């Protein structure tokens, strides 16, 4: 028997869980992004899986200098250690270009010269963007103009089961329309980059914020076209500010206190429906993580958290509870 034969005869291991956290470097880590980092970390590690970090800096004009390093430093301070090296989307443009050319050659994508103004009267998708009416589907209207590349979507219902949000379905053509995979300014769209990267990195489990739930059918459709496997999904509730808006750099979310990340970790755990003992809130980050790994239960994560949510750590409801847990560095 040759070495190849004996290798072939070995029992096949079940595929290993591989999760990831993929922040955009538009600002430092804050409680909202910490919830996504912690949730994806615990879901993967609790199953003995790997956890990767990818910096989604494909949209370079929005990237803030130094933010990627600051995010990585905060993760380290929280004890959220990742496997392998960090992947930067800005270094992977050739891979996105190859996928784009494949889709164009296969007749799945087409150039579109429509301007925002020309699409202003179109129906709106969930996220407020116009549902593309298909003007360039049979040929680009103005070949002389800069053009985006759109993915042609069929009139099908895409359904999947989300580990946190339950069953989700979307009629791609009616609810989203042919979507942009490379923008007219030459930047690759998030939807294409994320699918190419998850496939290249062998990601099997995607735990991330619920703001990306309605992007998931697009990504599953793209996975099918690129012959990439579809990972399992779980979309975490979003941390909101006092106005019910998603906590983000745009809403001036306070950055994590790198010198003492324990209270924010504890608050993030509570937000994820876990039940850490109150006295743990004052413990070092490593101790909180140890407890979290031993007690993690994905089924306890709520689909949404209504505002204001109560934070027993501070004895107050947010936004003060949040602000106190993730204090601004002075
Ligand atoms: Zn067009």
Residues 6+ apart with CB under 8 A from 261: 74, 77, 78, 285
User: Which of these, 313, 245, 233, lies nearest to 274 by C-alpha position?
Assistant: 313
Element (H, E) at 35: helix 31-46
Q: Right CATH number for 18-91+237-325 from 3.40.50.620, 3.40.5.50, 1.20.1740.10, 2.60.40.420?
A: 3.40.50.620
325 Cα to the center of ligand 1, angstroms: 47
Contact 122, 167 (CB under 8 A): no
- Alpha-carbon distance 141 to 135, whole Å? 7
Please list the alpha-helical segments (H only) found in 89-215: 93-105, 172-175, 190-200
Ion ligand 1 neighbours (CB, 5 A) are 112, 114, 135-136
Which pair of tokens denotes residue 63? 């990237």
Global confidence as pTM: 0.88
CATH 3.90.800.10 domain position(s) in the chain: 93-190
Q: According to the model, what pLDDT value does residue 252 have?
A: 66
Q: What digits encode the pLDDT tens for the residues 82-134?
A: 999 999 999 999 999 999 999 999 999 999 999 988 888 888 887 788 899 88
For CATH 3.40.50.620, list the domain ranges present in the chain: 18-91+237-325
pLDDT at 203: 97
Which of 57-60's residues contact partners 24+ apart within 8 Å by CB, and which partners?
57/24, 57/25, 57/88, 57/89, 57/90, 58/89, 58/90, 58/92, 58/93, 58/96, 58/187, 58/188, 58/190, 58/193, 59/24, 59/187, 59/190, 60/90, 60/187
Residue 313 has pLDDT above 50, yes or no: no
User: Is residue 327 flagged as an active site residue?
Assistant: no
In this predicted structure, the answer to whether residue 166 has a pLDDT above a threshold of 90 is: yes
Question: Can you spell out the DSSP letters for 16-31?
Answer: PPEEEE---SSS--BH
Q: Give residue 194 CA to ligand 1 midpoint distance, Å.
A: 24
Distance CA 266, CA 282 (A): 9
Question: Which of the following is catalytic: 142, 249, 307, 327?
Answer: 249
> Ligand 1 mean position to 82 CA, how many Å?
42
Has domain 93-190 been given CATH number 3.40.50.20?
A: no
pLDDT at 309 over 90: no
Q: DSSP string of 119-152?
A: TTTS-B-TTSPBPP--TTTTS-S-TTS--EEEE-
Q: What is the pLDDT of residues 263-281, one digit of tens each?
A: 999 999 999 999 999 999 9
Crossing angle (nearest 10°) for helices 31-46 and 67-77 = 50
- Determine the Cα–Cα distance for residues 291 and 297; give it in Å rounded to an integer: 12
pLDDT score for 317: 38
What is the whole-number distance in angstroms between the Cα of residue 318 and the centre of ligand 1? 44
CA of 113 to the centre of ligand 1 (A): 5
pLDDT at 11: 58
Regarding beta strands 50-55 and 87-88, do their DSSP bridges make them parallel or antiparallel, or are they unpaired? parallel
């Amino acid at each position: 028997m040759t070495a190849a034969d004996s290798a072939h005869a070995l029992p096949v291991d079940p595929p290993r869980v591989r999760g990831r956290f993929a922040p955009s470097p538009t600002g430092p880590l804050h409680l909202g992004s910490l919830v996504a980092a912690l949730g994806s970390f615990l879901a993967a590690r609790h199953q003995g899986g790997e956890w990767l970090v990818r910096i989604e800096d494909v949209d370079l004009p929005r990237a803030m200098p130094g933010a990627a390093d600051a995010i990585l430093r905060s993760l380290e301070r929280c004890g959220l250690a990742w496997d392998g090296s960090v992947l930067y989307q800005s270094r992977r443009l050739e891979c996105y270009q190859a996928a784009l050319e494949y889709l164009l050659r296969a007749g799945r994508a087409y150039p579109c010269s429509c301007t925002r103004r020309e699409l202003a009267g179109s129906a709106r998708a969930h996220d407020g963007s116009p549902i593309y009416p298909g003007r360039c589907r049979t040929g680009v209207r103005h070949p002389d103009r800069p053009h985006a590349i759109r993915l042609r979507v069929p009139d099908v219902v895409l359904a999947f089961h989300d580990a946190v949000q339950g069953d989700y379905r979307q009629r791609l053509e009616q609810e989203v329309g042919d979507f942009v995979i490379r923008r007219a300014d030459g930047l690759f769209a998030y939807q294409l980059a994320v699918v190419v990267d998850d496939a290249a990195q062998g990601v099997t489990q995607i735990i991330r914020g619920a703001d990306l739930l309605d992007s998931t059918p697009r990504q599953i459709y793209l996975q099918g076209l690129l012959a990439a496997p579809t990972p399992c999904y779980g979309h975490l509730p979003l941390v909101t500010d006092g106005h019910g808006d998603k906590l983000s750099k745009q809403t001036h979310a306070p950055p994590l206190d790198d010198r003492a990340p324990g209270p924010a970790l504890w608050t993030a755990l509570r937000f994820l429906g876990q039940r850490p003992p109150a006295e743990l809130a004052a413990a070092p980050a490593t101790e909180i993580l140890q407890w979290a790994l031993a007690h993690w239960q994905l089924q306890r994560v709520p689909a949404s958290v209504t505002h204001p949510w109560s934070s027993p750590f501070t004895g107050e409801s947010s936004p003060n509870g949040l602000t106190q847990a993730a204090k601004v560095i002075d």
